[in-house]
Every structure is written in structure tokens, then in C-alpha cells.
Structure 1
Amino acid sequence: MDKDASVMDRPIIYAGAVPFDTDLLRLGRYAKEGLGRFAEMLVGSQTIMASGLICQMSDSDLSVTIGRGAIMAPDALDATHIGGISAGLDADFSITQVLFYSDAPQTLTIPLTGVDITVYAVCRVQDDTLDVLPFYNAGKPDQTMAGPDNRGKALPIRRTGRISFAAGVSAPSAAGAIIVPLYVMSIPAGIGTLSSIVPRQSGVFLPALPELATMSFAQQISQPQALCVASQILTIPEWARQVELRVIGGGGGGASSNALTPEVGSFSGGGGGAGGDCWGIYSVDPARNASLSVTVGQGGAAGQRGGPSFVTYDGTPFLTSDGGGSAYFAAAQMALGGDGGGTGGGTLWNQTGGGGSDGQNGTVVFAGNGANGPWGGGGKAGYLLGANATRYGAGGGGAYSTRVAGQAAAGGRGYQGLVIYRFLH
């Protein structure tokens, strides 16, 4: 293609100007590349896709007939010079989607039995349709020449992408051609016809674009949500373009008690706070990086904050939910509930977790229950032992009273965090 030319360029030809052969050749090249780039937008730059090419098995001998059809595959725009030797356009090795076709049924013989045979499409660009063209005679302008040298030499007048077929146990060798496996068939030894054989299509027979659009939509609305209850690396499917994530931090632990009565000290501990809760949808590119790193925060033990939950892609955090805070005694007779975990990065919501209940203020005693997570489960305040939380992100309950003065009665443990995910097209 000309220097600095693009796929949307068009030659400008003026009335009265002498047209060159390259003007028309550029028209064809621009059209080919424009269609190829458009096809890349629809199906991708590396996709090989077949349409038609129905395989019909013979009921009288060992032959198959491949019907009309087409194959689209990445190939050079023009692997060789096109046009006259002294003019024309140079080769252009830019890769784009190229269409190859077979406009009539073709029959080929199966060479062996007792083996698996593959039918291959052999796609190649060729110059054909020979014709003797009239050429301008500079010496006698009122006469034309039969061919460039007036000797009746025929020249090819069409460059086209054609498909032929081959069958065998291995791919054929064909320099410059694109070899595409179409069908595989298991041929029993000694059979005389193929009437009982069912060919198996290869993966190049993709659904048509309307079907792909329908499948994509159905996949987006039907892909089930999955849970990550432990830190791990998720593999992104090659079809995915987005991921939906909901991330919940671990619940905080309840405060412990070390007094027999409220009059003498730290009698009733507060409840742990709930982990944060955020939700969003994010873009991914599995061709560049197919790994999604998930960290799930653990629930905090008595007097400890819950761990954060977060998801990282390509070294960048998508969203984070902090763990709920632990309950604690700010003073000997002042038990405060844990604060809720904060969030960041959610595109649909960012919700701070609920705070745990206070346990004691002087000689006034409250029930130091743990904060509920998104599905409840906050641990209750408990005599001699705070209850553990029972649902994702919930806080543990505070303990009140002890068996012996100065002996600790442990607060309840917060429940671990959670990551919910779903890949979308």
C-alpha cells in the first residue's frame, strides 16, 4: 500500500486525467483491508471461522463431498506484487482477516481405512482467470495490441482467495497456504463405503454473529455467581471482558471480660464491628493477563480487628473492604463496640460495615452484641464467653462476667470475609 495510506483512503481520479493502473489496484486493496479490519472488530484478529462447507459421506465408495462455503482467516494483505511487472503495487505483508471461498462442491477420496482421517481446507491466494487483454499501442495510437507484446499473451485478471481440500492422517504440505482442519472421521478397517461414518466438526465452525450475540447475552445473565471463601488466584476465561465482584471484609472480634461485677472493673465487653461491603463491575483482558488475585480477610479473634478482603488485577486493586474493628475497653468501666470496616473502589456501592454494640458504661451494662454482616450472624453477648459470629463479615459478641476475678472470659470471634464473583462477556 502507498506510504501513509489507511484503510479508509480512496484514490481521486480527475476528468481528463490519464488514469494509472495503480489507481484501480489501490481501490481493490483498500476495499480488502477495510473489510478485513471490520471483520477483526467483529470476531477478533486471530479468529479462523468457517461457514457452509457441509461434509457429505458417500454411500457407494470411500469419498466425501465438501459443499460450497467460505473460510475467514488472518493472512497477508498481498503476499506478492500485484499488477504489471513494471508498474502495479508492491507486496504488502500487513496481516488482516481474509476471505477464502469454494463456489462449487468438491469430492475427494479417503486414502486409508483403519485410522482417523482429517479433512483439511487448503486456503491460498492465487491469480487466475487468464485473458488476452487489449493494450495501448504508443507507436500506432489508432490500433490496439493483443497482449502487452502483441503476441496474444494471456494474463491473469483476478486475484482471489480459493479453497481446495485434502484428506489424510496429517496436515498436507502447501507452501504459502493456510491449512485449516475441518472434519475428523474414524474409518474402520476394511469398509467399502462411508455411509455409516459421522464426521466430527472442528472448532472453526463457529456460530453466526446473531447467534454469538444471543449466546453472549445469555451468558451474561445466566453465568452463576461463585464464592471465594479463601484467598486464591482465579483464572479468567478467554471469552470474559468484565468481572462482577462483591467484596466483604472479615468481622471484628468481641471484647473479653475480666471482672465478676460491673462495680469492680471490665465486666461486660462490647461487640465486634462488621466488615465493609463493596460491589462493582470491572474490565479485564485475559489475552494480556488471565489471573485475578483474590484475598479473603479472616475474622478477628477476641480483641482483634477482622482482616481486609480485596481483589487485585495486573498489580492494581479493583476494590477493597476493610475488616470490622474489634471491641475494646477504653477505660476500666467503658466498653466500646468495634467500628465497621470501610470500603473503596466499588462502582455500584461502597457500604461501611455496622458497628458493634457497646458493652458497659460505668455500672450501666449493655448487651455487647456483634454487628450483623450482610446476611446477619452477629455474635451475641455471652455469659463467660462471647458468641462467635456465624455469617460472612459479622462481628463477634462480647463476654460478660468471669468465674474468678481477674480471669479473662473471651469475647467471640468475628466471621471471615467473602468475595463473590461472576465473569461477564
Structure 2
Amino acid sequence: MDRNIVYPGSIPLDTDLLSINRNTMIAIGFLAQAALGTNAVADGLACQPTSPPSMNVTVGPGSLTQFGPIDLLAYGSIAADSIGSVVKMGINTGTSSFTLVAPTSSGQAINYLIEASFLESDTNPLALPYYNASNPAQSFSGPGNSGVAQNTLRAQTVQFQLKAGSPANSGSQATPAADAGWIALYQITVAFGQTQVTATNIAVIPTAPFLPWKLPSLRPGVASGVQSFSVSGDFIVPAGVTQAEVEVWGAGSGSYASVSGLPSGGGAGGGYARKLVTGLIPGQSIPVVIGAGGAAGTTTGALPGPGGTSNFGQFVSATGGSLNYLSTPIAPENGATPPGVGVGGDVNFNGSAGQAGILNQGGMGGAAPFGGTQNSGGVGNTGYFPGGGASGAGTGASGNTAFNGGAGSGGLVVVRW
């Protein structure tokens, strides 16, 4: 951060103060850029119905960042700087109010959009006192004693616009798009005959760049705690933790035994899901269920089993690999399908299906995401951990020997906070 140098006895200049202001703005802007990046970030600016409810809504205090030129216009005696760029922050300390109007046709509804943008403007004009060289005891009013008022504040605020969509049959109305340079924040739906706007009518636009967290909610470091579950149990939320990243793998299915002349197909892999779970309470107990790998089919007639589902409470889960309904103990060559799937995650992946047996080789077991596959010429191999489907059983070098199938691999849950 640049700092001005002044000396005893030197005549103070207006640029001394102006440079301090600009240098401070630039320093804070680069700090904001290091923490938040250059995309717009909104904080606060909560849209709420009035109390008591009416056809008005308010947007409360808050801020909005924007990456742009340092100064498009001259800043007092300092020249404009439209080449350098910095993150600026518009701040509103008060509330803004908007009036909504219901459609006039029965059965119709209308969507309103509240959009925002950063606003920088020179304001607060005053007729400033100026030095009068001919009579220092009597100051001038304005430059040259003209009495002209001059702006004394370069304000950085958040401005809003309310855009009305077109009324349409309820459920088919569209929300207007944000204007160029503006950011969509809220959608407000008003139906025919409505006389009050409530919280249920107000929705945050999915792309609105509201800050998702504050520093007090973050723990130091990355993945400062990790707990893995390969068997079912309970996760106790540690002290100070309110969110955790959870990965879940479902279990793989087992494979049939081979029969003379027919190798068996591989088992199907389990699914995978990853989710950032928020709103946790320290000390909270969350049940963790680990899906069991599917049993192996045997030459004595035992059937293979599907893989079990793994889950982290009610938050996120991954199902296990299935069996192929076309396969039977006397016709085991088809690969198992469908594979498991991730459910409820921010990221959800399917496992892969088992492959069919061919020649004297059992089919490859299906992989859970990020797992491996394998096959066998004899006894089916257990699926790769976590969540892999078993390989099918082969028929030996002669092609006429029956072997037991393999068991699917169990699931896994990993919690990081």
C-alpha cells in the first residue's frame, strides 16, 4: 500500500488527503480481491415483506462488490485512472422499499425481479470556504467567491431496480432477465387478487452471488478432521463444527458361480455421492450406515447378493450394485446391472455394470467411481474396495470346471471437516 510522505514546514496540498483516500481504497480492494476474487459478491441486502404485511417489500442494509476502473472521473485534483482496476464495495446502511402490483386478470400471476449494481457517484454539494489572499480574514464562498457548490463525497453504494415481468396464467409466468451490468438477486411472485406479500412469495435467484459463509463459521486449515467409516456407526459432530464434506460409496454386488462351459459375469459397482452438509450442531449424533458387499454365489447353489446402500443420516446416500435379472445359476454369463447411483449429493456418480463372462474368463467386476476392475479364470475375486463389484468366476484352463463366484466389496463413508 502506497503512503504519502510529508515534511515539517511544507505547505499541505489537497492531494495529500485525496491520495490517502485513493491508496486506502486500492489496498482494501486488493485485499477483497485476494479473499473473494473479482466476481461480484453480495452480503446482507435481505429482501423481506413489510410488517404488517402489505404490497411493499424492503431490501435491507448490505454490500455488493464490483471489479472495475480505479476512477473513471477525476478525483478532486487527482486525474482519472481508467486503466488500473480494483475491487470496489458499494455499501448501503439503510433500507430500500419497492411497491408491487397484482395482475388485474383472474387466474394470472406476475414475477418481479429485484436487480442490483454497484454505483459510484459524487454527491453532498457544499459552497466551500476558500482562501482570500487579498483579505485572509474574510474567506471566499466557493471558488473565486462564486458561491458555487462543489461535491464533497464520492459515494459507493448499491442501487436497485424493480423489473416487472408479463402477467400470465399462474405457473407459466416468467421472471425477467437482469439488465446488462446488473445482478439478479430476488424473484417476487404476485397473484391476482393478492393484497399482501409474504415471505413465501420471495425467492433468491439461484445465481445470486450472496456470500455463502462468514469467517467465524470456518475451521482453520483444510480438512482439519477426517473420519472414515467402513462399518456402520455414528458420527458425533465435533465442537465448533457446523459443516462437513461427506463422501459416500455404495457396496458392490457379488457374482454367480460358473458352470461347466459358462463363466459368470461380474458384479455391479456401487454408486458415489459427495455433499457439503451444512447446519450441523456440535454434539449432534448422525447415524452412518455402510452397505454390505453382495454375497458370492457358490457351486452348491447359493445365490449371489446385491450390494447394500450406504448413507450419512438423511443427508446423502449411495445405492449398491444390483444383479442382472437375466442371469441364473445355470446361465450366469451376463454381467450384473444396473450399478449403484449417488443420491442427494452436490456431486452424484453411477458405478459401472459388471461385464459378461467370455471364453473361460469370468467377467470383470463393475467399479464404484474411483475404483478398479478385475477378472478371473477361476474363483471370482472380491470386488475392489470401496464398492467394487466382484469379478465373475472362470471355468479353468479346460473351460469345464465350475468355480465359486466372488463377493462384492463393502461401501465406505468419509467425513471431512
Q: TM-score, normalised by structure 1?
A: 0.50
Q: Which residue of 1 aligns with 2:48?
A: 55
Ranges in structure 2 where 5+ consecutive residues have no aligned partner: 105-109, 166-174, 220-236, 253-267, 278-345
Aligned equivalent of 1:200, options 189, 199, 202:
202
Q: Which residue of 1 aligns with 2:244?
A: 220
Q: TM-score, normalised by structure 2?
A: 0.51
1:12-411 aligned at under 5 Å gives the runs 12-57=5-50, 62-64=55-57, 66=58, 68-84=60-76, 87-91=78-82, 94-101=85-92, 103-114=93-104, 115-121=110-116, 123-136=118-131, 144-170=139-165, 178-189=182-193, 191=194, 193-194=195-196, 198-203=200-205, 204=208, 206=211, 209=214, 213=218, 218-221=242-245, 223-227=246-250, 302=360, 323=374, 372=382, 392=389, 396=393, 408-411=400-403
Q: Deviation of residue 51 (structure 1)?
A: 0.9
Q: Deviation of residue 198 (structure 1)?
A: 4.4
Partner Cα distance (2:199, 2:403) in 1: 71
Matched residue pairs, number? 303
Q: Which amino acid aligns with 1:91?
A: S
Ranges in structure 1 where 5+ consecutive residues have no aligned partner: 1-7, 240-285, 312-318, 328-368, 377-389, 401-405
Tell me which structure has the larger Cα radius of gyration: 1
Q: Which residue of 1 aligns with 2:331?
A: none
- CA-atom RMSD in angstroms: 5.6
Q: Deviation of residue 151 (structure 1)?
A: 1.0
Partner Cα distance (1:407, 1:68) in 2: 77
Q: Which amino acid aligns with 1:225?
A: V
SS at the partner of 1:149? helix
Q: Which residue of 2 aligns with 1:346?
A: none
CA contact (8 A) 1:393 1:415 kept: yes
The structure-2 alpha-carbon separation of the partners of 1:15 and 1:410, relative to structure 1 and needing over 3 Å to count, comes to farther
Cα deviations by residue, 1:214-259 (Å, 9 ceiling, x for unpaired) = 89955435x35034977999998899xxxxxxxxxxxxxxxxxxxx
The structure-2 alpha-carbon separation of the partners of 1:51 and 1:197, relative to structure 1 and needing over 3 Å to count, comes to closer
CA contact (8 A) 1:53 1:69 kept: yes
Partner Cα distance (2:136, 2:66) in 1: 45
Partner Cα distance (1:153, 1:94) in 2: 32
Partner Cα distance (1:143, 1:174) in 2: 54
The structure-2 alpha-carbon separation of the partners of 1:195 and 1:182, relative to structure 1 and needing over 3 Å to count, comes to closer
Partner Cα distance (1:412, 1:224) in 2: 32
**Identity among equivalent pairs (%):** 20
Q: Deviation of residue 82 (structure 1)?
A: 3.5
Q: Deviation of residue 23 (structure 1)?
A: 3.5
Cα deviations by residue, 1:16-69 (Å, 9 ceiling, x for unpaired) = 3444434433322333333334334444432432315453337596444x2640
The structure-2 alpha-carbon separation of the partners of 1:375 and 1:95, relative to structure 1 and needing over 3 Å to count, comes to closer
The structure-2 alpha-carbon separation of the partners of 1:322 and 1:107, relative to structure 1 and needing over 3 Å to count, comes to closer
Partner Cα distance (2:185, 2:204) in 1: 7
Q: Which has the higher strand share?
A: 1
SS at the partner of 1:91? strand
Q: Which amino acid aligns with 1:15?
A: P
Q: Which amino acid aligns with 1:194?
A: Q
CA contact (8 A) 1:136 1:145 kept: yes
Partner Cα distance (1:22, 1:228) in 2: 70
SS at the partner of 2:145? coil
The structure-2 alpha-carbon separation of the partners of 1:399 and 1:173, relative to structure 1 and needing over 3 Å to count, comes to closer
CA contact (8 A) 1:299 1:416 kept: no
Partner Cα distance (1:211, 1:87) in 2: 39
Q: Which amino acid aligns with 2:48?
A: C
